[in-house]
């Protein structure tokens, strides 16, 4: 089993553009999170934007991620680029936040400000559980907590170089479904725009590389994640628990029906 990183070690590795692999969770199931955290992933990402849990669910899943034998830190995709949502996720113990719908460098700067305490930002002080994981001092928090901006809109793509150059931003994260729609896809998996989609991904990845920040992307499966790491993406998420539950249950059902015939 892989050795888990502390929040400080994870954030240092992320900022150094080391390769990291995470798992994406939509289900409010701390028991599942506890098991997933022991498998060797570098992080578990809890989706508060589209996932099926509220604040208590987010808190309980972050707690479960810190189980004995865990290899992962907990990170959260917050509901919106809002200081309240970002602050609550960090106070609950998230090591990083993924902030959706970043269209401009100013949006990215606002996300950074929501993560950092004054005078570097405007996060309200009240770390609650986070002080047990990261420490109560702002300097420690700044060193160990990361902010990641999602590139998933037409404006975000158009402004990606300026977004990546935002002071204090630790990385970007591509939402492929929204990005594919943003470049003209009729569905989230529309193959007719594949060439344009890959060109957009290359532009995003190179912008992050030029700025020296982490470049992350969402993936449907491990094989896709491996391909993106080989291309130069520095962290990848494999998604997601609710989808994989359905897939494996269907596989077993098909096998059982086939065996009965």
Residues with a catalytic annotation lie at 50
Peptide bond into 209 cis (omega under 30): no
Helix, strand, coil % in the chain, rounded to nearest 5:
50, 15, 35
Two structure tokens written together for 243: 């989808």
Cα torsion 165, 171, 176, 177: sign: negative
Peptide bond into 121 cis (omega under 30): no
Nearest to 98 by CA among 166, 29, 146: 146
Burial 191-221 (b: 16+ CB within 10 A, else e): eebeeebeebbeebbebbbebebbbbbbbbe
DSSP letters, 93-155, are: T-SEEEE----SHHHHHHHHHHHSPTTT--PPS--TTHHHHT-S-HHHHHHH-EEEEEE-SHH
Q: How far apart are CA 151 and CA 167, in angstroms?
A: 17
């Amino acid at each position: 089993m892989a050795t888990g990183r502390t929040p400080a070690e994870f954030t240092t590795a992320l900022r150094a553009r080391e390769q990291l692999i995470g798992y994406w969770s939509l289900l409010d199931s701390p028991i599942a999170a506890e098991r997933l955290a022991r498998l060797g992933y570098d992080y578990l990402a809890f989706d508060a934007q589209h996932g099926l849990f509220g604040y208590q669910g987010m808190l309980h899943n972050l707690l479960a991620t810190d189980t004995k034998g865990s290899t992962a830190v907990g990170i959260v995709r917050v509901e919106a680029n809002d200081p309240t949502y970002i602050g609550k996720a960090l106070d609950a113990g998230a090591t990083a936040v993924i902030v959706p719908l970043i269209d401009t460098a100013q949006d990215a700067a606002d996300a950074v400000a929501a993560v950092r305490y004054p005078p570097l930002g405007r996060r309200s002080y009240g770390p609650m559980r986070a002080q047990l994981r990261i420490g109560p001092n702002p300097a420690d928090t700044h060193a160990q907590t990361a902010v990641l901006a999602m590139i998933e809109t037409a404006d975000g793509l158009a402004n990606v170089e300026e977004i990546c150059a935002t002071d204090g931003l630790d990385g970007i994260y591509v939402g492929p479904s929204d990005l594919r729609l943003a470049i003209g896809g009729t569905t989230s998996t529309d193959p007719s725009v594949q060439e344009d989609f890959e060109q957009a991904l290359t532009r995003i990845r190179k912008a992050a590389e030029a700025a020296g920040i982490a470049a992350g992307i969402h993936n449907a499966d491990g094989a896709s994640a491996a391909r993106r790491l080989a291309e130069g993406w520095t962290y990848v998420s494999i998604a997601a628990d609710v989808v994989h539950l359905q897939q494996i249950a269907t596989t077993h059902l098909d096998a059982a029906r086939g065996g009965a015939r």
